[in-house]
A = this chain, B = another copy of it.
Amino acid sequence: MTKPTESQDFIQPSLNGPSAKLEASLSLAIHEHRLLPGTKLGEDELCDIYSVSRTVVRTALQSLSHSQLVDLKRNRGAFVAQPTIREAREVFEARSLLEPRTAYSAAERMTDEALALLEAHIAAEHEALEAGKPGKALRLSGQFHVDISRIADQSTIAGFIERLVARSSLIIAIYWKRQSALCEKHAHHALVDAFRRRDGSDAEALMKSHLLDILTALDLRDISDPPSKLRDVLKP
């Protein structure tokens, strides 16, 4: 079984080397909402900040583009991605298709070690919150989901979930409407409890409702059409 560890890179870097390091650093910043959607990532600026050549920057940006964290616009540059409302809905639909099943599998495959790691994970999340690091807490919150998918030991689906969680981070940055911390904290505890009991059905149901809960915290109302003409609006 693949052991989830916090030291594991959040998004699998392309390969070792300076570009992988840069990619990991940018990925982390995006996940922690230090880099917000729409932010322009200029090549020369990144070269300056990280003291690497443009070659390295471009490789990292391309890789981030494939992770869908960054949009590359030809001849215009790279920008932290901005998922639309439609995409937000799709992402959570895909998550609700994949993750409950994955939670079920994880419960069936659960070991004491994996359980301890999930628990340590939740503790780290709370710690980050108390230390006034909401960005880190947010990232860890998403990582919890990725860890579950890795425990389920189906790497293809885990890869998809990883991608969906990454995309979710961007969606949350744009559309989150709650004041409180991201994932309702009892939800992760309840999941771990189901895992402790190796109760797949319970885990599946909990994951489903947990995802629904996240979805309801997003403001995905259709933006109403702008008025056709100012005259129409402003006319007495």
- A: residues with CB less than 8 A from B are 14-17, 59, 62-63, 65-66, 72, 74, 87, 90-91, 93-94, 97-98, 101, 154-157, 160, 164, 167
Contacts and interface: CB of A to CB of B under 8 A. Distances in A.
Contact of A17 (B74, B101, B155): B74
A156 B94 CA distance: 7
The prevalent SS among residues of A at the interface is helix
**Copies per assembly:** 2
Given A14-B62, A63-B62, A156-B164, A97 B98 contact: yes
A184 to B, nearest CB: 24
Contacts of A90: 154-157
27 contacts: A14-B65, A14-B72, A15-B72, A15-B74, A16-B74, A17-B74, A59-B62, A62-B62, A62-B63, A63-B66, A66-B66, A87-B155, A87-B156, A90-B154, A90-B155, A90-B156, A90-B157, A91-B156, A93-B154, A93-B156, A93-B157, A94-B156, A94-B160, A97-B98, A156-B164, A156-B167, A160-B160
